[in-house]
Chain A
Amino acid sequence: MNKSTIGEMESFAYDDGITRKFVWATLVWGVVAMLLGVIIAFQLASWKVNLGLPWTTFGRLRPLHTNAAIFAFVGNGMFAGIYYSLQRLTKARMFNDTLSKIHFWGWQLIIVAAAITLPLGMTAGKEYAELEWPIDIAIAVVWVVFAVNFFGTLVRRREKHIYVAIWFYISTLITVAVLHIVNSISIPVSLMKSYSVYAGVQDALVQWWYGHNAVAFFLTTPILGLMYYFVPKAINRPVYSYRLSIIHFWSLVFIYIWAGPHHLLYTALPEWAQTVGMVFSVSLWAPSWGGMINGLLTLRGAWDRVRREPVLKFLATAITFYGMSTFEGPLLSIKSVNAMAHYTDWIVGHVHSGTIGWNYMLSAGMLYYMVPKLWKTDIYSVKLGNLQYWTATIGLILYIISMWVAGITQGSMWRAIDQETGMLVYPNFIETVVRIVPMYWVRAIGGTLVLLSFIIMFYNMVKTMQKNTSPLVDEAHKAVSFRAKKPEKEKGHRLLEGMPMVFSVLALLAILVGSIIEILPALMSSSYVKKDENIKPYSALELAGRDIYIREGCYVCHSQMIRPMADEALRYGKPSEAAESIYDHPFQWGSRRIGPDLARVAGKYRDIWHFRHMMDPRSTSPGSIMPAYPWLFKEKTDFGVLKKKLSVMNALGVPYTDEEIENAPNAAIEQAKAITQVLQESGVSESVHNKQIVALIAYLQRLGNY
């Protein structure tokens, strides 16, 4: 940087090289994330697509898809947009080019690590936070690097006031750090295995505080920031309302953080916390729509251009879907609606109207705006842009509608009780599965269209980049730093905008209020969960089986949380109590019922049934879409590590005696032999006691049996 004397023009250049890198990463990971999505969509339509291999089954690929879509695709897109706009909004080059590079390469390495470890079954077993502890640490480090680079740039800014886009970036930086660190705390058992320090209802609360706010502060606030930059730039019109920006920013940031428990309505979470989650979710509607109004009304008056130009078309559609999903979200948080929709595919449709409708569309608009500028050329083909737009939109609509139909069908079939006999109308869960398989096909086709549309953009962007002939050097700019100007008299929010560090502290306080009030009681108070003396820790073999359950991602298809409703009592047994999962590090309540709830599956079937079912689910349950797990019959249980596992659990407060820890491997072998004998009496000829299937059966036969 070329710093001249105070009061004069300073000249400087933006680092656009780093933005170009992030643009490439966005394009590449976008294809990967959507391809994975399409694969798992077809796996639900036809179980054969699981391919019978451990690393290609639904339970392992689904977390990879969500991680790739959120952290790789949207993440890189967000960074590209932030690096591009932050420099221009502050009239300053990024604080430090090396930090920018570490941020870029570090983030890509983390993604590669995720892409290797998740299919191998190395998972912490918490939705959207599956990565194991060494990767979690890497994420924290890279995030801090990003934060230093970001705040360093703010310190060196030439523009005194920070624009609303930057407010949103700040809230993202701070909140994601807090969420990630608090939620990921765990104690390692080995290099790639750890147990969450939280258990049961506590873990559920922390996890969904994190999970919901990953949606809020990774998929929403940074993207709103991008909207505030790229929409007025692209349409070249002023932002509709500064006042609205202020109100909706602060209300969004303050209210969002409370809404997590709407993922836990009707569960064993204390009811006051559920109610808090619901009312804050409902209150989120207006603040969210504030962003939508500001975006759409900025576009007002130039609708003819919106119809013609891909950039504006994508941006306008993104904002519209943002409005739709932030209306649907509060609706789904209302208890009585949630009773019907929770655990169904409706939720999956809701998420995708956000991620595809809002995140993908906005990223596309941003790329169509940025790429020609970054590569100093024009877009290769507007026609392809339009083709992409329509392919994506039609794909998305197929997706959303099929999931509405599937979700409402599931919800009403699960809940149907015959008024005369008082029994379930569809007692066999599989009937409700078979009924929605056609919708899974429609969804898979919709998803394929979305993937195709993204590939069209990939091609269009690469062609655009190739049109460039001049060397890509960072242009020099000139500006006078605000420090050289006479300070103006300011008050209120305007004053705050000139003090980014104070602003950041206030934003931190805004998210801490809700976090502390909601979570602290769960961590501090022993009365939060009513103890039940009958509930004993898992035996060593059951714990081994539980880790297999986590490794295979059974929790992405099966819940373990029976809600207090007549139909669930008939289908699954009495409602789950918080005390039942106090030893569950991490909790496995799940969020989705592609298969039935397993909280009380113990004793429902004999061991031989599970043995056959895991080998080939179609043999016991014709029409099932559950993958087969043949490798569990070959791979051996690691009895040796159980001592370590029990002692880590003990450190986390699970009451194992020293003797139990010492004797864990032997006790596990003993229990495995007893199960094997029962299996042999039912006609299993091999000796399987050291195979993983036996540990898994031990775990399943323990669920709900104390």
Chain B
Amino acid sequence: MSHDDKNKENELELDHEYDGIKELDNPLPRWWLISFYGAIIFGICYFFYYVVGGAPTLRDEYNKEQEVHHAVRAEYLAKLGAFDVEHFEKIYTNESVIQYGESLYVANCMSCHADGGKGDIGPNLTDRFWLFSFGNPETVYPFILSGNPNGGMPSWSDKIEKEDIYAILAYVLNQQGKTYENAKQEEGNEFPPWKPGMRTEDYF
């Protein structure tokens, strides 16, 4: 510290002292004062704008966000179109359809059919054994819609949009042949793997 600084410090020194501790009386730094008052002024303006001034509430913002979001969903679902085999064959290898199907699978099916469809409470969906269908989209689709009236598989027709089942099916059929640790043992009858072009009558 320079000599001048020392002199200045002596001028600022207050005459009191506690256990040898002295205090200077430096003025408050200007930038500090600006940020101090600045934050308080900001706070007052912000409070009045949001609480009294009629600014959109968090719920308003949420509702707007939901509106946009629902529009995106509706547009996407419209694009998927209605179920028919030929259309399914065109889209079922599409990555974004599969990914969309996976997210629906996770939300709706995974709690029984487990991760990837390896089976748990419900049967394994990755093998070639099927209990209630032939394992081709034409017979799996109506089963998902109706479920098993005797319990186990619920009916999904009023829970998931038909077009969404389409995407789930795309995901599930793409899981065929994948192997998982602790996969559930085979149940039902064995069917040949479905390939595009195969129709239900080919199974007889």
Interface residues of A (CB under 8 A from B): 85, 88-89, 91, 159, 161, 163-164, 229, 232-233, 236, 238-245, 247, 251, 266, 271-272, 274-276, 278-280, 282-283, 285-287, 289-290, 293, 297, 301, 330, 335, 417-424, 427-428, 564-566, 569, 575, 604-606, 608-609, 620-622, 682
Shortest A484–chain B CB gap in Å is 17
- B:62-119 near A, CB below 8 Å: 62, 65-66, 69-70, 72-73, 76, 96, 99-100, 102-104, 106-107, 110-112, 114-115
Considering the complex, give the chain A residue whose CB is closest to the CB of B1.
A301
Q: Assuming the A-B contacts A271-B57, A283-B40, are A421 and B100 also in contact, with contact meaning beta carbons closer than 8 angstroms in the complex?
A: yes
Can you list 11 pairs linking A and B with CB atoms under 8 Å apart? A164-B23, A233-B20, A233-B21, A243-B28, A247-B36, A286-B35, A287-B36, A297-B26, A330-B39, A421-B96, A575-B62
Judge whether A424 and B103 touch: CB under 8 Å. yes
Contacts of A236 in B (CB 8 A): 20
Judge whether B36 and A251 touch: CB under 8 Å. yes
Q: Is residue B30 contacting chain A, with contact meaning CB distance below 8 A?
A: no
Shortest B161–chain A CB gap in Å is 12
Contacts of B1 in A (CB 8 A): 301
Judge whether B104 and A275 touch: CB under 8 Å. no
Q: Assuming the A-B contacts A575-B62, A608-B121, are A279 and B42 also in contact, with contact meaning beta carbons closer than 8 angstroms in the complex?
A: yes
Judge whether B24 and A272 touch: CB under 8 Å. no
Judge whether A239 and B111 touch: CB under 8 Å. no
Shortest A250–chain B CB gap in Å is 12
Contacts of A565 in B (CB 8 A): 62, 65
Contacts of A604 in B (CB 8 A): 111
Judge whether B24 and A240 touch: CB under 8 Å. yes
Judge whether A241 and B25 touch: CB under 8 Å. yes
Contacts of B9 in A (CB 8 A): 238
Judge whether A605 and B32 touch: CB under 8 Å. no
Stretch at the interface among B46-54, B124-132, B134-142, B193-201: B46-54
Q: Is residue B29 contacting chain A, with contact meaning CB distance below 8 A?
A: yes
Contacts of A608 in B (CB 8 A): 121
Contacts of A419 in B (CB 8 A): 72
Judge whether A620 and B47 touch: CB under 8 Å. no
How far, in angstroms, from A423 to B72 measured CA to CA in the complex?
Answer: 9
Q: Assuming the A-B contacts A566-B65, A622-B115, are A293 and B39 also in contact, with contact meaning beta carbons closer than 8 angstroms in the complex?
A: no
Judge whether A238 and B23 touch: CB under 8 Å. yes
Contacts of B99 in A (CB 8 A): 418, 421
How far, in angstroms, from A164 to B14 measured CA to CA in the complex?
Answer: 14
Q: Assuming the A-B contacts A229-B21, A275-B46, are A301 and B28 also in contact, with contact meaning beta carbons closer than 8 angstroms in the complex?
A: no
Among candidates B26, B36, B112, residue contacting A286 with C-beta atoms closer than 8 Å? B36
Q: Is residue B3 contacting chain A, with contact meaning CB distance below 8 A?
A: no
Shortest B165–chain A CB gap in Å is 15
Judge whether A417 and B28 touch: CB under 8 Å. no
Judge whether A163 and B21 touch: CB under 8 Å. yes
Q: Assuming the A-B contacts A301-B5, A424-B103, are A89 and B22 also in contact, with contact meaning beta carbons closer than 8 angstroms in the complex?
A: no
Judge whether A418 and B22 touch: CB under 8 Å. no
How far, in angstroms, from A285 to B39 measured CA to CA in the complex?
Answer: 8
Contacts of B76 in A (CB 8 A): 420-422
Judge whether A241 and B47 touch: CB under 8 Å. no
Judge whether B32 and A289 touch: CB under 8 Å. yes
Judge whether A243 and B27 touch: CB under 8 Å. yes
Contacts of B23 in A (CB 8 A): 164, 238-239, 241-242, 245
Considering the complex, give the chain A residue whose CB is closest to the CB of B120.
A620
Q: Assuming the A-B contacts A242-B24, A243-B26, A243-B27, are A266 and B58 also in contact, with contact meaning beta carbons closer than 8 angstroms in the complex?
A: yes
How far, in angstroms, from A420 to B66 measured CA to CA in the complex?
Answer: 15
Among candidates B14, B50, B102, B103, residue contacting A275 with C-beta atoms closer than 8 Å? B50
Judge whether A280 and B43 touch: CB under 8 Å. yes
Shortest A104–chain B CB gap in Å is 23
- B:1-18 near A, CB below 8 Å: 1, 5, 9, 13-14, 16, 18
Judge whether B51 and A244 touch: CB under 8 Å. no
Q: Assuming the A-B contacts A279-B47, A286-B32, are A422 and B20 also in contact, with contact meaning beta carbons closer than 8 angstroms in the complex?
A: no
Among candidates A239, A266, A682, residue contacting B121 with C-beta atoms closer than 8 Å? A682
Judge whether A279 and B43 touch: CB under 8 Å. yes
Considering the complex, give the chain B residue whose CB is closest to the CB of A245.
B23
Among candidates B20, B27, B36, residue contacting A241 with C-beta atoms closer than 8 Å? B27
How far, in angstroms, from A283 to B96 measured CA to CA in the complex?
Answer: 46
Judge whether B107 and A427 touch: CB under 8 Å. yes
Contacts of B27 in A (CB 8 A): 241, 243
Judge whether A283 and B39 touch: CB under 8 Å. yes
Report which residue of B14, B43, B59, B65 has the largest number of chain A beta carbons within 10 angstroms of its beta carbon: B43
Judge whether A276 and B47 touch: CB under 8 Å. yes
Judge whether B32 and A293 touch: CB under 8 Å. yes
Contacts of B26 in A (CB 8 A): 240-241, 243-244, 297
Shortest A409–chain B CB gap in Å is 19
Considering the complex, give the chain B residue whose CB is closest to the CB of A289.
B32
Contacts of B102 in A (CB 8 A): 427
Contacts of A424 in B (CB 8 A): 103
Judge whether B46 and A241 touch: CB under 8 Å. no
Considering the complex, give the chain A residue whose CB is closest to the CB of B110.
A428
Considering the complex, give the chain B residue whose CB is closest to the CB of A276.
B47
How far, in angstroms, from A233 to B115 measured CA to CA in the complex?
Answer: 63
Considering the complex, give the chain B residue whose CB is closest to the CB of A424.
B103
Judge whether A88 and B47 touch: CB under 8 Å. no
How far, in angstroms, from A421 to B73 measured CA to CA in the complex?
Answer: 6
Considering the complex, give the chain A residue whose CB is closest to the CB of B24.
A238
Contacts of A245 in B (CB 8 A): 23
Q: Is residue B19 contacting chain A, with contact meaning CB distance below 8 A?
A: yes
Contacts of A282 in B (CB 8 A): 39, 42-43
How far, in angstroms, from A606 to B108 measured CA to CA in the complex?
Answer: 12
Contacts of B18 in A (CB 8 A): 89, 159, 161, 163
Judge whether B47 and A566 touch: CB under 8 Å. no
Shortest A640–chain B CB gap in Å is 34
Contacts of A620 in B (CB 8 A): 111, 114, 120
Q: Assuming the A-B contacts A242-B25, A283-B43, A285-B39, are A422 and B14 also in contact, with contact meaning beta carbons closer than 8 angstroms in the complex?
A: no
Judge whether A241 and B24 touch: CB under 8 Å. yes
Given A417-B69, A422-B76, 7 other A-B contacts at CB below 8 A?
Answer: A239-B24, A244-B26, A271-B57, A289-B32, A428-B110, A566-B66, A608-B121
3 nearest A-B pairs in the assembled complex, by CB-CB distance: A279-B43, A564-B62, A286-B36
Judge whether A88 and B19 touch: CB under 8 Å. yes
Considering the complex, give the chain B residue whose CB is closest to the CB of A85.
B19
Among candidates B42, B69, B104, B112, residue contacting A566 with C-beta atoms closer than 8 Å? B69
Contacts of A280 in B (CB 8 A): 43
How far, in angstroms, from A238 to B14 measured CA to CA in the complex?
Answer: 9
Considering the complex, give the chain B residue whose CB is closest to the CB of A605.
B111
Judge whether B28 and A247 touch: CB under 8 Å. yes
Judge whether B51 and A272 touch: CB under 8 Å. yes
Contacts of A163 in B (CB 8 A): 18-19, 21
Among candidates A85, A239, A272, A564, residue contacting B22 with C-beta atoms closer than 8 Å? A239
Q: Assuming the A-B contacts A241-B25, A251-B36, A575-B62, are A89 and B104 also in contact, with contact meaning beta carbons closer than 8 angstroms in the complex?
A: no
Contacts of B25 in A (CB 8 A): 241-243
Shortest A608–chain B CB gap in Å is 6
Shortest A314–chain B CB gap in Å is 19
